[in-house]
Structures are given as C-alpha cells and as structure tokens.
C-alpha cells in the first residue's frame, strides 16, 4: 500500500527566550504558524520477513540513512507500537529549504508518524504520538497540532491559538544556521532582549487585529551581526524577521524585495492545519 502526505513549513511569529534550563535546553515562548509551503513524502509499506527502511528523495541536502529524522521517526513508531517486520520505502520530495528555521525535517517526521498511525489502524492515541514527538525534537508537537500554536517549555508544550490568514513571503541566503549555533550566539549576548511581545500578539490574534508590529525573534539578535548575508536581507526588507534559528527571513506580505542569488518564495499564506494525507493507493 502507498500513502502520500504533505508536510508544511512553519514560521515563528514570535520567538522569545526566557532562560537556560537545567537540562541544557532553553525555555522559550513562541508563536509558531504553519504555512502552505510543503514537502511531500510517499510511503510504500509491505509485510516482510525482516524490518527494512529505505529512504530516497530529490535532494542531496539531506541524508537517507539512520541520521534522517524520518528514519528515526519510523524506528520510534515501530518500538512504541510493537510492530512486526515490514519493508518501508519512503520517497522524500523536499521543497522546504534545509537548515532554514522552517522545521522541514520536523514536519517530515510528524507526517511519518501520522502515516504510520493511519496505516496501522490508529494503534497509538494522540498522547502516545505526542510523547514520540517530544523525544524526536522540540518543535514536533507544534507541527502535530498544526495551524497557529503557542509553544512553551523547550517547544514541546503546545496550545492552539486563534488562526488568522496572512500573506507570507520568504527569503533565504545560501547559508544554514543550526539551532545549536543560534542558541550559543544568543547565550553570548551581553544584553538579552526582553520584549514580551508574545502575549501582545496572542491578544491581537484573538481580536483579529494586525500583528506585524510585534513579530520578533530573540535568536536573530544573536546571529545577525555575524553574517553579512542576513544583513543584506534586512537592508532590503527592514520589516522582515528571521524564523527559528535562521537563515530564512519572512514578511507578512505577498511580495519580498529580492537579493541576488538568494532563494525566495512569494504569495504564500498561513494555514489553519498541519500535515495532510493527500493520496492512498
């Protein structure tokens, strides 16, 4: 049986860092919003004499082995659900840039869990899926919930927020910034930002009023001065904000001022849901 799912990118409407935790992670308060930029994953699942996981795809930017988070999600699901041996072939069509702050990999992993749960007759409940997500990464539970989500803790504590449709445009230099680097550079800031904009944005979302004045990202302040590539984006688009640990910036507009040789996507929009199965065949 084959199943195809589309897995969306996310942007951080706010990302505020409240401090360092005892487990080494940072305590955050962030509003994350899904947008209609998708990767597509096609699964071919067959009974087999042993467990086989075969990944392939359309880009050389990601590994197709046990280092891929899709591979890890499959292993985690098999263990949690006590599934017998099967052969899993997965084709990953990447449209979401990697190392971009758009949670493409996390979204792929959530889509994988949802496909497997459907294929195996919803063997895991929502709490069990949520626990797997929390072990795989900090923002997977956000993707699992979908739409507009308040994320707290290290990102795994989630709450649904009112959805408001906004236009979205993205721009990204040929540069990847890991979350580890982003948080390290933030930690080295002598003066930390303290805007408390997340609560303001939540109130404006409830009232369906314009949030653009209050979108923010504390991590941007940590990495911005180290990369002329980011400065080029900001000079061309003063109202743009970095998403996640970067290096993608976004504006809540239909168009963005382009920078030569930078990847961009325009005329996107925020969406009220998350991963969606598009085909069973």
- Active-site residue (options: 10, 29, 72, 172): 10
Q: Choosing from 6, 29, 72, 139, which is the catalytic residue?
A: 139
Catalytic site includes residue 139:
yes
Per-residue three-class SS string for the chain: CEEEEEEEEEEEEEEEEEEECCCCCEEEEEEEEEEEEEEEEEEEEEECCCCEEEEEECCCCCCCCCCCHHHHHHHHHHHHHCCCCEEEEEEEECCCCCCCCCCHHHHHHHHHHHHHHHHCCCCCCHHHHHHHHHHHCCCHHHHHHCCEEEEECCCCEEEECCCCCCEEEEEECCCCCCHHHHHHHHHCCCCCCCCCCHHHHHHHHHHCCCCHHHCEEHHHHHHHHHCHHHHHHHHHCCCCEECCCCCCEEECCCCCCCCCCCEEEEEEEECCCCCEEEEEC
44 is catalytic: no
Which residue numbers are catalytic? 10, 139
């Amino acid at each position: 049986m084959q199943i195809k799912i589309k897995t969306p990118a996310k942007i951080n409407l706010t990302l505020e860092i409240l401090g360092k935790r005892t487990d080494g992670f940072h305590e955050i308060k962030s509003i994350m919003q899904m947008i209609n930029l998708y990767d597509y994953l096609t699964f071919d699942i067959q009974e087999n004499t042993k467990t086989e996981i075969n990944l392939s795809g359309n880009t050389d930017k990601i590994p197709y082995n046990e280092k891929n988070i899709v591979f890890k999600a499959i292993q985690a699901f098999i263990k949690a659900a006590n599934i017998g041996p099967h052969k899993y072939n997965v084709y990953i069509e990447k449209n979401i840039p990697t190392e971009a702050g758009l949670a493409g990999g996390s979204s792929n992993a959530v889509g994988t869990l949802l496909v497997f749960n459907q294929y195996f007759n919803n063997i895991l409940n929502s709490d069990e899926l949520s626990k797997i997500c929390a072990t795989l990464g900090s923002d997977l539970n956000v993707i699992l919930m979908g739409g507009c989500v308040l994320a707290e803790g290290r990102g795994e504590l989630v709450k649904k927020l009112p959805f408001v449709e906004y236009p979205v445009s993205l721009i990204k230099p040929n540069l990847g910034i890991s979350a580890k680097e982003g948080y390290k550079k933030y930690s080295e800031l002598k003066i930390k930002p303290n805007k408390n904009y997340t609560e303001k944005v939540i109130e404006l979302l409830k009232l369906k009023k314009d949030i653009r004045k209050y979108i923010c990202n504390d991590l941007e302040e940590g990495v911005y001065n180290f990369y002329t590539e980011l400065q080029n984006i900001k000079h061309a688009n003063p109202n743009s904000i970095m998403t996640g640990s970067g290096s993608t910036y976004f504006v809540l507009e239909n168009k963005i001022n382009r920078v030569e040789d930078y990847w961009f996507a325009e005329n996107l929009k925020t969406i009220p849901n998350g991963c969606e199965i598009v085909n069973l065949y």
